[in-house]
Amino acid sequence: MPKVSVIMGIYNCKNFDLLNKSIDSILNQTFDDFEFIICNDGSTNDTLGFLKEQEKKDRRIKIVSYEKNQGLNYALNRCLQEASGEYIARQDDDDISYSDRLRKELCFLEQNQEYAIVGTLADVFDDSGVWGEYKNPEKPIKNDFYWNSPFMHPTIMIRKEAYEAVGGYRISKETRRCEDIDLFMRMYAKSYKGYNLQEKLYAYRMINDPNVKYRPMKYRVDEAIVKYKGYKAMGNLLGGIPYVIKPILVGLIPKRILYQIKKSRY
């Protein structure tokens, strides 16, 4: 039985070269006692065929599939159903895990039993190379969820027991685009704690372009609902009320100004 299960959900891959690099970044980890479960979420292009070829090249890869597209929440829960590892690590299909990521995250959780979640810092890159850095607080507390999620979802490793305690990713209309912060807030509501290694062990792909499309308002309303429920569950709703409406207010900011605000974070 592997120590770690790495999970990935994917729908209609747009760049197979990036996907190949992402998969290889996991396969080439210095820690190798893992399984890599990838859920094809009802893709209608050549994604499944590509994944099946990947499965042949390494026994640690396991491909599961939905016939119809369900959404990332469903895909990740399907991976969790198949996972046999004591720890669950995430990976996105166009990102890169640096070679020591799994080893260092596992070592931290093994040596610090009081924490259930561990994430890392990350380089931010696009086709032109690295253009920023994603930072998060070292020891996030509940109030750190006010402005943004204090964890970068694809960098995390979590004890499987914590996933089981909250029932995995919540399936709901409002979690379609914010399954990550919803998961973390529900874990914190059950007194699980997280930590961010203050080291860049991941490369996160984000297009550095002011003309890129931003999240539609309907998803910003969903995020507001998720935050309201999360703050209420964690017991910090009173202080969180102004931040519940923050996603909606951000959606009203002109695109070019929003781009400058977002870029300043990196």
Q: pLDDT tens digits for 192-245? A: 999 999 999 999 999 877 666 677 889 999 999 999 999 999 999 999 999 999
Distance linking the first and last C-alpha atoms of the chain? 39
Residue 180 pLDDT > 90: yes
Residue 181, token pair as written in the block: 């912060």
pTM over 0.85: yes
Residues 6+ away with beta carbon under 8 Å from 201: 97, 98, 100, 101, 104, 105, 120, 121, 122, 155
Residue 266 pLDDT > 80: no
**Average pLDDT, integer, range 62-91:** 98
**What domains appear along the chain, each with residue ranges and CATH number?**
1-94 (3.90.550.10)
Q: Quote the CA–CA distance of 36 and 173 in Å, as a whole number.
A: 28
pLDDT attached to residue 211: 66
Tell me if 88 sits within 8 A of 158, measured CB to CB. yes
SS (H, E, C) 110-144: HHCCCCCEEEEEEEEEECCEEEEEECCCCCCCHHH
Beta bridge partners of 41: 66
Beta bridge partners of 123: 133, 203
